[in-house]
Structure 1
Amino acid sequence: MSNDPLLDELRAHEEQVWDALVRGDADLDASLLCQSFLGVYGDGFADKSAHVGQLAEGATVQSYALTDLRARALGSDHAMLSYRARFMRHRRNQAEDMYVTSIWQRTEGGWINIFSQDTAAGEATD
Structure 2
Amino acid sequence: MKTLSPTLECLLSLEEGVWRAFVAGDPDADAALLADDFVGVDPSGFANRDGHVAPLRAGPAAAGYRLDQERLAWAAPDAGLLCYRARWRQPGGEWETMYVSSLWLRRDGRWRNVFSQDTPAA
The TM-score by the shorter chain falls in which range? Answer: over 0.9
Question: What RMSD in Å do the two structures reach over aligned CA positions?
Answer: 0.9
**How much does 1:112 deviate?**
0.4
**How much does 1:120 deviate?**
0.2
Q: Deviations over 1:6-63 (max 9, x none)?
A: 1000000000000000000000000000001000000000000000101111001000
**How much does 1:72 deviate?**
1.0
**How much does 1:109 deviate?**
4.1
**How much does 1:91 deviate?**
2.0
**How much does 1:110 deviate?**
2.0
Q: Secondary structure, in 3 states, of the residue corresponding to 1:22?
A: helix
What is aligned with 2:102? 102
What is aligned with 1:30? 31
Length, aligned pairs only:
117
What is aligned with 1:76? 77
Q: Superposed, which structure 2 residues align to 1:50-65 within 5 Å?
A: 50-65=51-66
Gaps (5+ residues) in structure 1?
Answer: none
Q: Which segments of structure 1 move beyond 4 Å, counting only runs of 4 or more?
A: none
* TM-score, structure 1 normalization: 0.90
